[in-house]
Amino acid sequence: MAKQPNFLFFITDQHRADWLGCYGHPVVKTPNIDAIAKRGTRFDRFMTASPVCMPNRASLLTGRYPTLHGLRYNGCVMHEGTRTFVDVLAEAGYHTAAIGKSHLQPFTGSPPRGSNLEDILAVPEARETTRQDHYAEEAEHYKGADRHDIPTPYYGYQHVDLVTEHGDKCGGHYQQWGRENVPNWEELQDPENELPHEYTCPQAFRTPVPEDVYPTAYVRDRAIDYLHSRSDEDAPFFAFVSFPDPHHPFNPPGKYWDMYDPEDFEVALPFEAHTNPTPPMQWLYDSWKSKAETFSPQTAALYDTRHIKEAMALTAGMITCVDDAVGEIMKALEASGQLDNTVVCFNADHGDYMGDFNMMLKGALPFDAITRVPFIWADPEQTSPAQTSTLCSTVDLAATILDRAGLTPFNGNQGVSFLDATRGGDGPRDEVLIEFNDPAKRLGFTSPARVRTLVTERWKYTVYHGQDWGELYDLENDPKETRNLWDNTAYTQTRGRLAERLTHHLIAQMDESPLADRIA
């Protein structure tokens, strides 16, 4: 029997597909990630299950949509009883590790914006759950001097080195490590000590934290330590290496701050490029022109051209910083003698509008900028590089990894293996469902947005709950999604067919677990 492969799974945060050299970006330098693509298969139409951090990360681990796994939007909790594909790997003899950002529970104990936690807890739930479960908050146990050991297995992971939040002030084990190992830690963490700069875009922050103690470097070093620790072990490993960048704030450290010039970037898709903006787009535009305050630092907003270019340059610096870290980890994998038996993957949890229609960050509008993410699968069995346009989803990752390991997914998994597509074959899907649920009223919606999108080879069809408008884009003739065909009577039949297909997907959002185990 052939030895089961190791898996080294890299993932970044808020990183759209076309912001890598191997995906054709003309400016951003990512030679190390590009080198992984040269050894493997690059997926050009890989879609998120949800274009938001927590729901999509939970879908990655469970192979289930947010409707079923319950982590519907940021701020919910993935219950400790949730089964993951990492559980299956561990039960089959794999050693499993999560290094970096997990984000399966809230980063803080604070209630949602504008809410009172006591009021929330006072309302009985339809199903009895444990809000503060065995794992507790991802941020609440790292304030002491002694390292907090997370009870394991943690969603299947036996080794956990956690980094919470974003930017240069991340928490978790990184924070504990910094307090112990960096003499001027408090000084570096003080916002008053920001280094001088001339950038004016929102959330641009020139961190005093040096490159070698920035969160990206911490994740790099802990991943290298882990690979060294497994070099003499017989059991295969699954290592999930998760970088908090390039998620905003825009604060690349050291040399990465001015590695790129804003003038090297262009806003190729300004707001005016959309021929018939939807109501939320128009609301964002009006808010921008009136200089209205945004709901939160995480809420989508429109920026002017200069601010977008600045954000692009700083994001590029953060991406290249991650790329350099990936290169060092790959060197360590090779030095450990395990490269030839390790499947290496590169992925992101969701994208960023990054200037499309002058929008930044992410939100309820499911343009490709936030729903299409990079995915690379480099298998030691592969003999030549490849790329594929087959449709795949985050929910398919669990089934695919288990398929490659020779294992069977658990009951209730909704994903399908696309392993054949990594070997030059066809993918298993003709269409993909994408969910978006907002915990708050934003972008002009009178209630929290509930959005469902169906993507086919040619079409993108989106329905907004309670709205008499929607979106329909012909991706074959309008790949930039600039002309909404929803109200065009020439496409009434197309809308009808896609509505029927979406209905079938929504019907399938019934939990098949647990199975009935007896006759009634």
Q: What is the pLDDT of residues 231-249, one digit of tens each?
A: 989 999 999 999 999 999 9
Residue 115, pLDDT above cutoff 80? no
Quick one: pLDDT at residue 138?
Answer: 63
Quick one: pLDDT at residue 133?
Answer: 56
Q: CA angle 255-178-332, nearest 5°?
A: 65
Quick one: pLDDT at residue 144?
Answer: 76
Does residue 228 sit in helix, strand or coil? helix
For the chain, counts of helices (H) and of strands (E)? 13, 17
Domain architecture of the chain: domains with CATH:
6-115+136-368+379-426 (3.40.720.10)
Q: What is the mean pLDDT of residues 174-199?
A: 95
Q: Tens digit of pLDDT for each residue in 315-370?
A: 999 999 999 999 999 999 999 999 999 999 999 999 999 999 999 999 999 999 99
Q: Tens digit of pLDDT for each residue in 442-496?
A: 999 999 999 999 999 999 999 999 999 999 999 999 999 999 999 999 999 999 9
Q: Which helix (H) or strand (E) holds 425?
A: none
Out of 112-116, 231-235, 308-312, the most confident range is 308-312
Cis preceding-peptide flag for 183 (omega within 30 of 0): no
pLDDT band at 274 (very low <50, low <70, confident <90, very high): very high
By C-alpha distance, which of 452, 469, 468 is closest to 460? 452
Q: 54 or 264: whose pLDDT is higher?
A: 264
Alpha-carbon distance 248 to 228, whole Å? Answer: 31
pTM, whole model, 2 decimals? Answer: 0.95
Quick one: pLDDT at residue 80?
Answer: 80
pLDDT band at 78 (very low <50, low <70, confident <90, very high): confident
According to DSSP, the residues that pair with 343 across neighbouring strands are 7
pLDDT band at 111 (very low <50, low <70, confident <90, very high): low
Going by C-beta distance under 8 Å and a sequence separation of 6 or more, which residues neighbour residue 206?
194, 195, 196, 197, 199, 251, 257
Q: Tens digit of pLDDT for each residue in 402-422?
A: 999 999 999 999 999 999 999
Residue 1, pLDDT above cutoff 50? no
Alpha-carbon distance 147 to 72, whole Å? Answer: 31
pLDDT band at 59 (very low <50, low <70, confident <90, very high): very high
Residue 130, pLDDT above cutoff 60? no
Sign of CA dihedral 13, 17, 18, 22: positive
CB atoms within 10 A of CB 129: 11
Q: Tens digit of pLDDT for each residue in 203-222?
A: 999 999 999 999 999 999 99
Out of 136-140, 149-153, 316-320, the most confident range is 316-320
Going by C-beta distance under 8 Å and a sequence separation of 6 or more, which residues neighbour residue 263?
309
Structure tokens at 226: 């882990």
Residue whose entry in the numeric block shows the structure tokens 């905003």:
248
Quick one: pLDDT at residue 123?
Answer: 74
How does the average pLDDT of the chain come out, rounded? 93
